[in-house]
Chains A and B, each alone.
Chain A
Amino acid sequence: MFEYAPAPESRSVVDLKPSYGLFIDGTFVDPTDGGSFKSINPASEEVLAEVAEAGAQDVERAVRAARKAYDKVWGPMPGRDRAKYLYRIARLIQERSRELAVLESLDNGKPIRESRDVDLPLVAAHFFYYAGWADKLEHAGFGQRPASQHGGAIPQPLGVAAQVIPWNFPLLMLAWKIAPALAAGNTVVLKPAETTPLTALLFAEICQQADLPAGVVNILTGAGDTGRALVEHPGVDKVAFTGSTDVGRAIARSVAGTSKKLTLELGGKAANIVFDDAPIDQAVEGIVNGIFFNQGHVCCAGSRLLVQENVADRVLESLKRRMAQLRVGDPLDKNTDVGAINSAAQLERIRELSDAGSAEGAERWSPPCDLPDRGFWFAPTIFTGVTQAHRIAREEIFGPVLSVLTFRTPAEAVEKANNTPYGLSAGIWTDKGSRILWMADRLRAGVVWANTFNKFDPTSPFGGYKESGYGREGGRHGLEGYLNV
């Protein structure tokens, strides 16, 4: 193995304030009835900044600001002008992408290589893509409404959108939520995750820099209570949530009986299926990308490897060799492949499920791996001898832990892949085109990657079947959740 000299990205590009308020009605304000909390760097446990925790009255203020902006400014504004604001935001993100990437890695723990090369380009592209929709909504293919309903053939926005996002792709999830909402003419109140609030606050500054009208975007930092108060607020017309299936269920219950439109992007337990005719080296790259990208903190991660029995030994040998090359450590080092686990709580969950894997009889393996003393770390891990009944084959671990199962026939692969309450994504590795299409037809998953994995694009609809949620984000489909159609 090569020795690498450290190649740290400078963090001087980020100018953090010691504390941040809530972004309501175009300005940063102190919370009325909330407190504050600290956001830390999960790679070092150092405090990055103190952040306001929004209380119920702050939620009230933010929703009122969003309503006013919807009624007075953003709703009546011609689509072409909304588009220009979104284009501005896209450009500002491109211009400040290095700063945002470094801050994302600091607050989240993900490798700078990923925040720089994946997250930030996708964030800018997402705003750029939806900007173009703002003045073309009547062409988005949602059918003609009778003139008596909601103002004719142009689909109408819903009003105020309450949006709650997770910590795994903080800024990218913000983009997935805010860009289509604004393009469709809604205003938003967004709550970033409590462990990763900082890039959303920098985004608030970008909104100011873009001269986005006050109240169109409001950012409330806080934890679960803030999120609950926001989605349950009677003044919101739309709820969009990305996160765990359990919280998604609770939100679905809470909006029952209301007229709030709901979209949910929840958990997953994707099968990554490797057939015996697959190019093994490419498949191994795909397996590694599928489960170790972003420390496995990916709802669509390929966390169940289904490998055809006759090549299982070869694939595993190759996979272990490849895993031994992964560089785990400082997220700001440009050579790092696997960064820090996002929080102590998440690390505890990964440990608990991994221990359950061993206790239930699966065989655990990790490459020799020096982990830093401070911060939250978990070595890339695979389990072999996993059965479908094992917890590590059924529950979402949301960490760098792969469960390996085998199969003999394509039909068995389909059966095992679909044997989960989730249905977010799946992977297929084979050289046979007809088999790819046969498999893709039968996999109950919203995204199927064939001979690739973990690819994302603003034009490509993303979202799950079954208990992975409902609605799609991205593409023309992503507008539907923000329009009265």
Chain B
Amino acid sequence: MSERVAVRKTYKLFIGGKFPRSESGRSYLVQSSNVSLASRKDARDAVVAARAAVKGWAGATAYNRGQILYRAAEMLEGRREQFVALGIPGDEVDAAVDRWVWYAGWADKLAQVYGGANPVAGPYFNISAPEPTGVVAVVAPERPALLGLVSVIAPAIVSGNTVVVAASPSEPLAAVTLAEVLATSDLPGGVVNILTGAITETAPTLAAHMDVNAIDLTGVGDAALATDLEVKAAENLKRVLRPAPGNHDWTADPGVAPMTALLETKTVWHPKGV
């Protein structure tokens, strides 16, 4: 009896809930696999998918979003061994699951903690509530490939944003595998879109895109590239999350800033009277 020949996986992009190859037909060899090398056109397609998903996702109830994020944590837990097989340490997978769960619980608490009634000096009802900013472009950290990725996606989508993520170029397999988790978590297609390939190719397109509302530069290691992306982002006044200086401790409590930086505050007034 000969040994069974394994069925290998093709690693592709994740756009609009589907797994297309790059429209450019290109791939690059990394982690012993041919991974799609996303083009600028793929980045634009991903933005279109992310924009189309905003209405449904931002309009879903916070409870519903929380349930779906929790479901993603369940799916992630179930695939623990798969991530370990990709070389992700078991502790990191556990931490990534725990982080999903932590963020999932924020979905129906953000509005109470970051909004509220304003005691204006007059006969008016006045209330402020946070809302998602829209489509967020994210440059994921190079590593840790899974915990870093989860730590930039979850805070963006929990409030109702949709994201286009430029995954770690050197360790993209965790990102594509996470996409498989998300695709089986009732997350509507287009809420998370993942591009593999060169940051220098996709990130400038996303930073300059006029239908992207915010950009998270957390994963941009090169200071000159970060500055260039921030300059491009100014064209339509994107909200910009700059990379934090120094080494990021991904196991530490992330705090609320990764969520609140991607929120808008809407304040509604109405007169009181009889």
**B-binding residues in A (CB < 8 A):** 125, 141-146, 245, 248-250, 252-253, 256-257, 259, 264, 266, 421, 436, 440, 445-452, 455, 457, 459-463, 465-467, 469-470, 472, 475, 477, 480, 485
* A451 and B255 contact, Cβ closer than 8 Å, known pairs A259-B245, A467-B236, A477-B265: no
Contacts of B86 in A (CB 8 A): none
Interface size on B, residues (CB 8 A): 40
* A125 and B121 contact, Cβ closer than 8 Å, known pairs A249-B235, A445-B266: yes
Can you list 27 contacts pairing A with B, beta carbon distance less than 8 Å?
A143-B256, A143-B257, A146-B253, A252-B230, A252-B234, A252-B237, A256-B230, A256-B231, A257-B226, A259-B245, A421-B236, A446-B264, A447-B267, A448-B268, A449-B268, A451-B270, A452-B269, A455-B122, A457-B122, A457-B124, A457-B126, A459-B120, A460-B267, A461-B118, A461-B265, A461-B267, A466-B213
Contact yes or no, B118 A460, CB < 8 A: yes
Question: A457's contact among B121, B223, B237, by CB below 8 Å, is which?
Answer: B121
Contacts of A141 in B (CB 8 A): 113-114
In the complex, whether B119 has a CB less than 8 A from a CB of chain A is yes
Contact yes or no, B119 A245, CB < 8 A: no
Interface centre among B120, B235, B267 (most CB of A within 10 A): B267
Which chain B residues numbered 95 to 123 have a C-beta less than 8 Å away from chain A?
Answer: 113-114, 118-122
In the complex, whether B177 has a CB less than 8 A from a CB of chain A is no
Bound-complex Cα distance A293 to B3 (A): 83
* Minimum C-beta distance from B113 to chain A (A): 7
Bound-complex Cα distance A452 to B268 (A): 10
* A264 and B231 contact, Cβ closer than 8 Å, known pairs A143-B256, A460-B128, A477-B265: no
Contact yes or no, B266 A440, CB < 8 A: yes
* Minimum C-beta distance from B203 to chain A (A): 14
* Minimum C-beta distance from A204 to chain B (A): 27
In the complex, whether B10 has a CB less than 8 A from a CB of chain A is no
Q: Mark B115-142, 1 if CB is under 8 A from A, else 0.
A: 0001111101010100001000000000
Which chain B residues numbered 198 to 256 have a C-beta less than 8 Å away from chain A?
Answer: 213, 223, 226-227, 230-231, 233-237, 239-240, 242, 245, 252-253, 255-256
Contacts of B235 in A (CB 8 A): 249
In the complex, whether B271 has a CB less than 8 A from a CB of chain A is yes
Question: B237's contact among A245, A446, A449, by CB below 8 Å, is which?
Answer: A245
Contact yes or no, B118 A450, CB < 8 A: no
**A-binding residues in B (CB < 8 A):** 113-114, 118-122, 124, 126, 128, 133, 213, 223, 226-227, 230-231, 233-237, 239-240, 242, 245, 252-253, 255-257, 260, 264-271
Contacts of B245 in A (CB 8 A): 259
Nearest 5 pairs of A and B residues by beta carbon: A257-B227, A256-B230, A252-B234, A457-B120, A143-B256
Bound-complex Cα distance A38 to B14 (A): 61
Question: A253's contact among B133, B234, B253, by CB below 8 Å, is which?
Answer: B234
* Minimum C-beta distance from A98 to chain B (A): 20
Contact yes or no, A248 B268, CB < 8 A: no
* Minimum C-beta distance from B225 to chain A (A): 10
Question: A470's contact among B124, B230, B239, B255, by CB below 8 Å, is which?
Answer: B239
Bound-complex Cα distance A160 to B235 (A): 26
* A142 and B256 contact, Cβ closer than 8 Å, known pairs A256-B230, A256-B231: yes
Question: B227's contact among A248, A256, A445, by CB below 8 Å, is which?
Answer: A256
* A256 and B118 contact, Cβ closer than 8 Å, known pairs A436-B270, A450-B270: no
Bound-complex Cα distance A445 to B264 (A): 9
Question: A446's contact among B113, B114, B239, B266, by CB below 8 Å, is which?
Answer: B266
Q: How many A-B residue pairs have CB under 8 A?
A: 112
Bound-complex Cα distance A451 to B114 (A): 25
* A477 and B122 contact, Cβ closer than 8 Å, known pairs A249-B237, A264-B237, A451-B270: no
| A249 and chain B: residue at smallest CB distance | B234
Contacts of B237 in A (CB 8 A): 245, 248-249, 252, 264, 266, 466-467, 469-470
Bound-complex Cα distance A452 to B269 (A): 7
Contact yes or no, B253 A452, CB < 8 A: no
* Minimum C-beta distance from B249 to chain A (A): 9
Contacts of B230 in A (CB 8 A): 252, 256-257
| B256 and chain A: residue at smallest CB distance | A143
Contacts of B226 in A (CB 8 A): 257
Contact yes or no, A459 B227, CB < 8 A: no
Contact yes or no, B267 A462, CB < 8 A: yes
Bound-complex Cα distance A466 to B210 (A): 10
Contacts of A145 in B (CB 8 A): 255
Contacts of A452 in B (CB 8 A): 124, 269-271
Bound-complex Cα distance A452 to B245 (A): 45
| B229 and chain A: residue at smallest CB distance | A256
* A460 and B252 contact, Cβ closer than 8 Å, known pairs A245-B237, A475-B128: no
* Minimum C-beta distance from A467 to chain B (A): 5
Contacts of B257 in A (CB 8 A): 143, 485
* Minimum C-beta distance from B145 to chain A (A): 24
* A472 and B122 contact, Cβ closer than 8 Å, known pairs A248-B237, A252-B234, A256-B234: no
Bound-complex Cα distance A144 to B120 (A): 28
Contacts of A450 in B (CB 8 A): 268-270
Bound-complex Cα distance A253 to B232 (A): 8
Bound-complex Cα distance A99 to B113 (A): 41
Contact yes or no, A448 B267, CB < 8 A: yes
Bound-complex Cα distance A449 to B270 (A): 6
Interface centre among B114, B234, B237, B257 (most CB of A within 10 A): B237
Interface centre among A143, A445, A462, A472 (most CB of B within 10 A): A143
Contact yes or no, B236 A460, CB < 8 A: no
Contacts of B266 in A (CB 8 A): 440, 445-448, 465
Contact yes or no, A448 B231, CB < 8 A: no
Given pairs A461-B267, A466-B237, 16 additional interface contacts (CB within 8 A): A252-B233, A257-B231, A259-B245, A421-B236, A445-B266, A447-B266, A455-B120, A457-B124, A459-B121, A460-B118, A461-B118, A470-B237, A470-B239, A472-B265, A480-B260, A485-B257
